[in-house]
Structures are given as C-alpha cells and as structure tokens.
Copies of this chain bind each other. A is one copy, B any other.
C-alpha cells in the first residue's frame, strides 16, 4: 500500500472523523489504524498511547469550536452574540457529535491551559459585555450560560428530546430568549 505519510495531526484528524461516524468511545488505536490503512503498531510513532490519541482529538475539537465561535462572535454583541455563540456550539455538535463528545474529555490542568479552553472562557466573558452585570455576578452568569448551552446540547444529542413535542429547535430558540431576558434583568442578591 506504500507510505501513507502520517503525522500526529493526521492521526488525530482521522480519529475525529471516526468519532463522528461511530462515536467517540469507539475510537481506539486499532480502529484508527484500520481506517488510515496502517498496522496498529505504526500509530505508536505518532501518539503515545490510546489516551494520548483521545486527548489529541479533544484538543482538535476544542480548537475548531473556538475558531468557529470567534468568527460567529465578530461584530456582534448582547443577544445577537449569545444566539450566535449558542448556534455555533449546537451546530458543531450536530455536525460532529463525536468531536463534541471528545471536547468533553477531562484534561489535566496543564493540558487544559494550553488548549483552546481559555479561548472559550474568554468568549463567554465577551458575551457578558453586552449585559451590565457587576463583577461578582459575572462568573455566575458565565457558568449559567455554559450550563444551559452544554446541558441542552448533551440532552439533545443523547436523544432526550426525541419522543416529545415540540421540536428541539423551538425549545432552543425559546430558551435562548429566556436566557437573554434573564441576563438583562439579572436578579440582585437577596431578592426573593
């Protein structure tokens, strides 16, 4: 079959494609080797082990999502920015469910800091500039937005919405409406 010309990056990319097709948990060195047409042992010149392979796919996905997010956020603020970033994550997850699952992989601190993770945090913070929240509340709001978006996507991807009306798009729109409304009228501390 000749030489395929692999690199660590190409291995990760093949793993990402495989993840989207058969699920992230099915991505093994064996499966990736089969896919790129190479003996299993040859992969180990490019990735240290199975975990390293998974981490590389996760980093790839985080990077891709951050790039898309930054593009979507450019020139938008407030509600528009919120909707745009939300759509970025959700569309990515539906286009690339395996990669999205990979992006949830727990990374050790050092790896996480060197990943695109901080870019995601920064984008969340950027959205909040469109809403006037005092500093101590901003962190709470960032965590809320992340919870809503990722929580919804996980449920949708997991099929939780498959067997009840209305469709997931309507709920998504409505929920982002509500979230925007909440951020504009953020309840002050001690309010009951």
Determine which of B137, B160, B174 lies in contact with A140 in the assembled complex, contact meaning CB atoms within 8 Å. B174
Give the complex CA separation of A158 and B147 in angstroms: 12
Interchain nearest-CB distance for A14 vs B (Å): 22
CB of A144 closer than 8 Å to a CB of B: yes
Question: Does A10 interact with chain B (Cβ within 8 Å)?
Answer: no
Which bucket holds chain A's interface residue count? 35 or more
Which residues on B sit within 8 Å (CB–CB) of A187?
177-178, 181
Stretch in contact with the other chain, from A29-37, A41-49, A63-71, A163-171: A163-171
Assess A147 versus B164: contact at CB under 8 Å? Given A104-B154, A159-B106, A182-B182: no
Say whether, besides A170-B140, A174-B137, A187-B177, A154 and B154 are in contact (CB < 8 Å). Answer: yes
Quick one: which of A150-165 are within 8 Å of B by CB?
A: 150-152, 154-155, 158-165
> Are B104 and A140 closer than 8 Å at their CB atoms?
no
Residue ID in chain B nearest A120 by CB atoms: B160
The chain B residue sitting closest to A164, CB to CB, is B139
What residue of chain B has the Cβ atom nearest to residue A79's Cβ?
Answer: B192
A185 part of interface (Cβ distance < 8 Å): yes
A window 61-100: CB within 8 A of B: none
A154 B150 Cβ-Cβ under 8 A: yes
**Is there a chain B Cβ closer than 8 Å to A129's Cβ?**
no
Question: Chain B residues with Cβ under 8 A from A139's Cβ?
Answer: 164-166, 171
Please provide the 5 A-B residue pairs with the shortest distance between their CB atoms, ordered closest to farther: A151-B151, A147-B151, A147-B152, A181-B187, A140-B174
13 contacts between A and B (CB under 8 A): A104-B154, A109-B162, A136-B166, A139-B165, A140-B170, A140-B174, A140-B175, A144-B171, A146-B160, A147-B155, A151-B151, A174-B189, A182-B182
